Amino acid sequence: MQKNSYSFIRPLMVTLTAVLALGAAAAPAAAAPGNIRATGFIYCVSGVLNTFNPQMASSGLTVDTLSAQLYDRLLDVDPYTYRLIPELAESWQVLDNGATYRFHLRKNVAFQHTAWFTPTRTLNADDVVFSFARMFDAKHPWHAVNGGSYPYFDSLQFPESVQSVRKLDNDTVEIRLKAPDASFLWHIATHYAPVLSAEYAARLAAADHQEKMDREPVGTGPFMLNEYRAGEFIRLTRHPHYWKGIPRMHQVVVDMGSGGIGRLSRLLTGECDVLAYPAASQLSILRDDPRLRLTLRPGMNIAYLAFNTRKPPLDDVRVRHAIALSINNPRLMQSIYYGTAETAASILPRASWAYDNDAQVTEYNPTKAREILHSLGQDKLQLTLLVPTASQSYNPSPLKTAELLQADLAQVGITLTIRPVEGRFQEARLTAMNHDLTLAGWSTDSNDPDSFFRPLLSCAALRSQTNYAHWCNPEFDQLLQTALLSQQLAGRMETYRQAQNMLADQLPVLPLASSLRLQAYRYDIKGLVLSPFGNASFAGVSRDAKPESQP
């Protein structure tokens, strides 16, 4: 087997690149041994890191991979039953018909000891109040630190809907809303809602180094940051006082250094132990190798094409429908997903309890599309498509998808220019107003349909910059609000059915696919859980002591 490429890395060193990128501090003094295969595993994933705080991320590596390792939440979602389960909150109460929520905290939960912070106490209500008040209260002294943007909760209008976050005693926190919200518990069970250390925040404020809060993380999760090299890797070491029990692996290295075929090759040679989001086209190779395991699960995700509804001619719904008729979705399924996804008929994935089973996939009819465009005098449209380059759970090959769309639109007389976007400028480019189309997607660790509708298509999501269609419809927003006020599932389902019908008619976005979640790993890796809601904790992962053998 090829020698592990990380065996020479010095665990104590944080490079200048990392310091410039995120202001990382020196790694903890308790260095992890250099031989990763003997003490941990390597998790290979494509992604860009802009912050270690998932509160301030809209998606990607921070939310999908790191959050479950660095932090805990008040509640969690069982990856098998899709039910809410206790985490930092041992129990909770729903009062005032869903307008007040009271959480009773777990005792003796330790924060991580790092090179940049040594806690003097365990978790208490002050930490929970700080974590949520920072996001929801615009007047909070920490709200504007590092930009003051909390995309997920801003898109849900939580700053406007939360009345108070208060400590009742050391072990009890109460969050009061201005109106009932049936989705609230699901939203705070997402990885966007970690519990941070109020003591750490106070220490940073006293030293006037508040900016380090989101760059040098401190949480209660099973692993803590040890080393970061921008664009290369993140080394995590286990939290020895983790409240669920000490993690089985001493360290995890999250490798961001290679993509596509490179990551597959490293999995096959043993340089990677886990390959997150392998390309669907690689499945036959992965299935045929007896040294590997492959996990597939339904995912709470959607890939879609967003129209810039504020920019002519895409402000005309007839043009949007013509483009939808031009797209050969069956070919996308075959060429991009290789049987690992289904054609989407709604912005909601089929796994959602509010999915409208009567929703129809847009037909492929280029002849009709040409007729519509001709009648509108739009025979020779020239459009620009922004495309993120990194593979995601909802789209393993965005650039190839864009090329297929380009070919489809050429058949109806539309010239499509593809503009790849990547790195730290990606989100700014995607939310700018000068593009025509955006190839995008969304995945969430919430089973509530509100976690798709409001972040992607509400008027509030324009301000939080997650609404790439730039579409704002007060009637649609009112439907979403009506659904939140009801504690009856049947009533919410009917309201969301109306919302889906409105989207099918107005078509601000064209749903393309809802994909299975894929994960490949070496045969000796045990205890790796693949959740439909995002990556689960690595605390239970271990390596078989026996040499790898064929099953």
Same domain, 305 and 447: yes
What's the pLDDT score for residue 425?
46
Measuring CA to CA, how many Å separate 495 from each of 329, 453, 489, 492, 519? 28, 12, 10, 5, 35
Q: Supply the pTM of this predicted model.
A: 0.78
Q: Which range in 136-150, 416-430, 457-471, 536-550 is most confidently predicted, on average pLDDT?
A: 136-150
pLDDT at residue number 528: 92
- What is residue 424's predicted lDDT score, i.e. its pLDDT? 46
77 and 199 in one domain? yes
| pLDDT at 85 > cutoff 50 | yes
Domain count for the chain:
3
Band the pLDDT of 31: cuts 50, 70, 90: very low
Q: Identify whether residues 198 and 242 lie together within a single domain.
A: no
Q: In terms of Cα–Cα distance, which of 451, 440, 353 is closest to 156?
A: 451
| Cβ atoms within 10 Å of 102's Cβ, excluding its own | 16
Is residue 113 in some structural domain? yes
Q: At residue 169, does pLDDT exceed 50?
A: yes
Indicate if the pLDDT at residue 234 is higher than 60: yes
Q: What's residue 448's pLDDT?
A: 87
Are residue 462 and residue 445 in the same domain, yes or no?
Answer: yes
What are the φ and ψ backbone dihedral angles of 405, each rounded to 5 degrees? -65, -40
Q: In the listed set 153, 185, 208, which residue is the last one of a domain according to the structure?
A: 208
Q: Which residues, 6+ apart, have CB-to-CB distance to 34 below 8 Å?
A: 6, 7, 8, 9, 10, 11
CA–CA distance, 86 with 82 (Å, rounded to integer): 13
Lowest mean per-residue pLDDT among 41-50, 142-151, 365-374: 41-50
C-alpha triplet 54, 56, 58: angle, nearest 5°: 80
| Residues 394/299, Cβ–Cβ less than 8 Å | yes
Structure tokens at 466: 């997650």
Length of the chain counted residue by residue: 551
Domain of residue 48 covers 1-69+221-291+523-551
- Specify the CATH number for the domain of residue 414: 3.10.105.10
At 433 the pLDDT is 57
- Say if residue 216's pLDDT is above 50: yes
Q: Percent of the chain scored above 90 by pLDDT?
A: 66
3-state helix, strand, coil in the chain (%, to 5): 30, 20, 45
pLDDT in tens, 247-281: 999 999 999 876 556 888 899 999 999 998 887 78
Q: Are both 111 and 196 inside the same structural domain? A: yes
Identify the residue with better confidence: 229 or 21. Answer: 229
Q: What is the pLDDT of residue 117?
A: 98
Who wins on pLDDT, 551 or 42? 42
Q: What is the pLDDT of residue 313?
A: 97
Residue 482 has pLDDT above 80, yes or no: yes
CATH number at residue 258: 3.40.190.10
Task: Kindly report the average pLDDT of the chain as a whole number.
Answer: 88
Measured CA to CA, the distance from residue 531 to residue 67 in angstroms comes to 14
Residues 6+ apart with CB under 8 A from 230: 15, 17, 18, 20, 21, 22, 49
Position 536 scores a pLDDT of 84
Give me the pLDDT at residue 111, please.
98
Assess if residue 215 is contained within a domain. Answer: no
264 and 181 together in one domain: no
**Judgement on whether residues 344 and 435 belong to the same structural domain of the protein:** yes
Domain boundary among 208, 229, 253: 208
CB distance 171 to 165 below 8 Å: no
pLDDT band at 7 (very low <50, low <70, confident <90, very high): very low
Give me the amino acid identity at 62.
T
Rounded distance between C-alpha atoms, residue 12 and residue 231, angstroms: 18
Contacts of 455 (CB under 8 A, 6+ apart): 151, 152, 155, 156, 442, 444, 461, 464, 466, 467
> Does 369 share its domain with 454?
yes
pLDDT at 155: 82
Does residue 509 lie in a domain region?
yes
| pLDDT, average across residues 140-158 | 91
Alpha-carbon distance 452 to 483, whole Å?
A: 13
* Boundary residue ending a domain (208, 240, 267): 208
Least confident of 142-146, 159-163, 259-263: 259-263
pLDDT of residue 17: 37
CB 451 within 8 A of CB 444: yes
**CATH number, residue 107:** 3.90.76.10
- The string of pLDDT tens digits covering residues 53-84 is 999 987 778 988 999 999 999 999 887 777 89
Instruction: Confirm whether 55 is domain-assigned.
Output: yes
pLDDT at position 259: 59
Handedness of CA 241, 245, 248, 249 (dihedral sign): negative
